[in-house]
Amino acid sequence: MLGHTEAIDEAVLLWTGVLERVGAADLGAPSGCADWSNRELVNHLVGGGDRYAILLRGGGEAEVAATRSTDYLVDGDPVAPFWLFQNAFRDAMATADLDVEVEHRAGWRPGRQLVAMRVMELALHAYDLAQGIGATWEPSDGLVEYLLVEAVPILDEFRGWGMVDAVGEAASQRPVDRLLALAGRH
């Protein structure tokens, strides 16, 4: 199974493979994620890099909360700000003790679980963005395996709080289809 570093790298490749296909006209269109437009979805992912870096550097929920209304796409370019904050996250990940708990709004958790959450959001929101722009979504088998092990317990926790849709019926027994069903993508 992939380690956290390899999983984040693969999730970033999956996300940017879709993100780089987003045109200006696509930003206002609905994404495959609830009531979010593609722009709102991309802004959420860019901001996630900022927020998770803050947490891994020892910041708390109050500091993170101050970023929640930030428009990270002020210039309309979704790619450059993604890399700016993803690189900040990677730098924080490289220097943090991932066994130390961080104050995420969904509760205190070790930094390594925050990394798994970042992998999960990049991979699953890449699916949502792909749905929003009519692109393909093809995660590697290794990334799917990582998510089935590391992310499903987090999804179950979040589902209990109403933050993730109900488990759907898998289109097949393929691991990728099981992952989408467990993630509430049906």
Per-residue pLDDT reduced to its tens digit, 73-94: 988 789 999 999 999 999 999 9
Tell me if residue 170 falls in helix, strand or coil: coil
**Domains in the chain: ranges and CATH:** 4-132 (1.20.120.450)
- Whether residue 186 is predicted with pLDDT greater than 80 in this model: the reply is no
CB of 52 closer than 8 Å to CB of 92 = yes
Per-residue pLDDT reduced to its tens digit, 130-151: 999 999 999 999 999 999 999 9
Query: What is the maximum alpha-carbon separation in the chain?
Result: 43
CB of 32 closer than 8 Å to CB of 127 = yes
CB of 61 closer than 8 Å to CB of 105 = yes
94: its two tokens: 């490289």
